[in-house]
Amino acid sequence: MKVLFVCHGNICRSPMAEFILKALVKARGLQDSYHIESAAVSSEESGNPIYPPAKRSLTQHGVPFDPAKRARRVSAEDYRNFDRIICMDASNLRLIRRIIPEDPEGKIHLLMSYTGVGRDVADPWYTGDFEEAFQDILAGCEAMLRGGFA
């Protein structure tokens, strides 16, 4: 299963989701069955590292991450290369349609939809609440694994 997490800039929520899901699949011994990445709908942070408060949140929860991770923008080619493209909020979903206008295979989803709650993962860039974002992302990733990414 190839999963691409998407947020606005690829420096907070989507890299947090990338490394949270990597840790969850590794803990289950499933790392060989998954390829997990993250990207942005915007190019404004391209090339930048994970935002320091996001790194601190991952570290506080014992989630390893790659310090060399750099933000990148989603491309139309990503649709062919990934089985699931998981957006953090409705704005990401709207903006990804400019890059990937059609979703004939039903690959594009909101993360929190896996939990049965149709809401966004609040953007900690604006809220400052990285713990809330972490808990939402963790709940979404766990629900994805339980549901088999259906």
Q: Annotated catalytic sites, by residue?
A: 7, 13, 123
Sheet holding 2-7, edge to edge: 35-40, 2-7, 84-87, 108-110
In the chain the first and final C-alpha atoms are separated, in Å, by: 12
DSSP class of residue 70 equals B
Helix 130-147 with 13-27: angle, nearest 10 deg = 50
